[in-house]
Amino acid sequence: MSFTSEQISNLVRQVGITRDSELNCNECLHHVAEFAECELTGRQVTEALEAVRHHLTLCIECKEEYDELLKVLRALDDSSPAAS
């Protein structure tokens, strides 16, 4: 059984895509503030932020960071005067 180089590069690309969709903790924490902001403002999350959401369901450490961040952002929001 043999593969053409085209088949192999397709396979490599697929594996690469799968790996790219899994964030590591650094990447997650890099985007987590943006994600928290989207959650708080009800803004639609981008594909990159969906990956953050996914990571947060898998990684308790990042989830804790995220929860802390949400707490801080909510506190800031409460203390700012409503301008409506």
Interface residues with Zn ion (CB under 5 A) are: 25, 28, 59, 62
8-23 burial: b if 16+ Cβ within 10 Å, else e: eeeeeeeeeeeeeeeb
- The smaller minimum CB distance to Zn ion, of residues 28 and 49, is found at 28
Asked if 56 contacts 63 with a C-beta cutoff of 8 angstroms, the reply is yes
- The smaller minimum CB distance to Zn ion, of residues 12 and 48, is found at 48
**Tokens in use for 30?**
């890099």
Closest approach, Cβ 29 to Zn ion, in A, equals 7
- The smaller minimum CB distance to Zn ion, of residues 24 and 43, is found at 24
Residue nearest to Zn ion (CB): 59
Closest approach, Cβ 79 to Zn ion, in A, equals 29
Q: How crowded is residue 62: how many other Cβ atoms within 10 Å of its Cβ?
A: 21
Q: What is the Cα Rg of the chain in Å? A: 18
Closest approach, Cβ 28 to Zn ion, in A, equals 5
